[in-house]
Amino acid sequence: MGNIVLSGNIAFLSLAELLQLLGTNNRSGVIRIKSIYSEDVGLMYLAGGNPVDAQIGSLSGVDAAYALFGWTKGEYTFEEVHVDRENVINQSRMEIILNGLRMLDDGMIQELGPVSLETIQTGEDGSSNRKRTVPVIRGPFIDYIYVVDEEVYHDRERIVEQGRHGNWIWVILEGMVDIMVDSPSDGEIKLVRLGVGGYLGRISSFLRTGIKRSATALAVGEVTIGVVDSQMFATQFAGLSPHLQDLVMSIDHRLEEVTQCAIDSITHKVKSRDFFKNLKLVIRQGDSEKRVFRINQGDAYIARRVKDGSGYVLLAKLHKGDCFGEVPFLSIDNEPKYASVYGSPDLKLSVLDIDQIRDEYDELPNAFKNMIEYTAICVSATTNIAFET
């Protein structure tokens, strides 16, 4: 065994930067990259600072090396060790770096992550001539400890029916599921498509009885779903600190709000509005505000500036107990970078100790963290529908 001399997050030190650093110092060893969106570990072998081979599952050589440039999120280690491996990569280190970055920018390399885009038929039966680009959201690697049963559905079967009541939560084990919502003007429309690791049901489902389903889940081809142990999730939620509970439930509430905004956008009901002049500005879109706030009184309005700068679209209205601000360990992608926050005249806030909350969050079981992170990703992807439709 060698010595692990370097480790970190690939989002902060990219593969290109890592290769330049190790190449400059003529290091030999193995780069290992782990992502929650892949069952396989990404490997790149270096000899004297130059890549000689790479591997991701059954993919190897230069193809695997380029594919690793799409791993923009994950943890890496570099183990310094003698590499006794055939050199199957004929390009130089700089050729690999420049080609990898160019191919990623040009869309020739798939960026590994939870959200991709597909152009699909918008009709419920797939026969509509209308097409729309929708996000395809995949979840992290599945923890089967929380799966208590499995169910199989066939193409176009309805797994969940909008308007029905139920508290079950499922995770997609195989296949894809379309999330459909009823619109009085447009009938049933596709909102998003969920892939492996995606959840059917929201966090609030295991906290309250008699939840009314807000959308229909429709199987795309043959789909296998796992029934999640909701009671175990509920027990873990009950053990959270009040502030982490507030944060989690606020993300769940925000998903409900931005989903309605996305529906309005698809059905052309969203209009650029400038009604925030009677409210007070709390965070301006693009500000460097790093704090996370809890609402103790009043309401907060999350709004994104439209592309032509003519006004804002209201994404969510938050109430007492909800939270807003930049949560560094969740991919919400709203305020402050992509949205402003306005407050009602009676708004009163407290600042959360986000470092303490993060320490608590990091200790949660992976399956519970996965569902929270997945909800945050859905907020981000659903928000973008309102601005890309």
CA distances from 177 to 61, 72, 145, 258, 264 (A): 34, 26, 22, 20, 22
Residues 97 and 154 in one domain: no
The last residue of a domain, from among 89, 106, 123:
106
Residues 159 and 213 in one domain: yes
Residues 187 and 257 in one domain: yes
The last residue of a domain, from among 77, 106, 135:
106
Residues 102 and 121 in one domain: no
Contacts of 114 by beta carbon, 8 Å cutoff, 6+ apart = 37, 137, 138, 139, 140, 331, 374, 377, 381
How much is the pLDDT for 11? 84
How much is the pLDDT for 140? 80
Q: What is the pTM of this model?
A: 0.76
Which residue would you say has higher pLDDT here, 357 or 117? 357
* Structural domain count, the chain: 2
* Residue at token pair 């010595």: 3
CA pair distance 160, 157, nearest whole angstrom: 9
CA pair distance 144, 116, nearest whole angstrom: 24
pLDDT digits (tens, 9 = 90+) for 243-258: 999 999 999 999 999 9
pLDDT band (50, 70, 90) for residue 170: very high
Residues 303 and 362 in one domain: yes
Residues 235 and 121 in one domain: yes
pLDDT of 371 above 80: yes
pLDDT of 308 above 80: no
pLDDT band (50, 70, 90) for residue 275: low
Give the CATH number of the domain where residue 190 resides. Answer: 2.60.120.10
Q: Span 309-332, mean pLDDT?
A: 90
Mean pLDDT, the chain, rounded, equals 88
The last residue of a domain, from among 106, 138, 156:
106
What token pair was written down for 301?
């309005």
- Give CA 13 to chain center in angstroms: 20
Residues 99 and 122 in one domain: no
pLDDT digits (tens, 9 = 90+) for 199-235: 999 898 888 777 788 899 999 999 999 999 988 999 9
Task: Tell me whether residue 211 is exposed, middle or buried, using C-beta atoms within 10 angstroms of its C-beta: 0 to 12, 13 to 18, 19 or more.
Answer: middle
Contacts of 213 by beta carbon, 8 Å cutoff, 6+ apart = 160, 161, 162, 163, 164, 165, 166
Closest by alpha carbon to 175, among 243, 242, 229, 224? 224
Residues 55 and 173 in one domain: no
Q: Span 82-111, mean pLDDT?
A: 91
How much is the pLDDT for 126? 47
Residues 97 and 121 in one domain: no
Residues 88 and 150 in one domain: no
pLDDT of 87 above 90: yes
Instruction: Provide long-range contacts, Cβ within 8 A and 24+ apart, for 125-131.
Output: 125/156
How much is the pLDDT for 124? 47
Task: Tell me whether residue 124 is exposed, middle or buried, using C-beta atoms within 10 angstroms of its C-beta: 0 to 12, 13 to 18, 19 or more.
Answer: middle
Residues 146 and 181 in one domain: yes
Residues 81 and 172 in one domain: no
pLDDT digits (tens, 9 = 90+) for 98-151: 999 999 988 899 888 777 666 665 554 444 455 667 888 888 878 888 899 999
Q: What values do phi and psi take at 6, rounded to 5? A: -150, 140
Domain around 372: 115-386
How much is the pLDDT for 127? 45
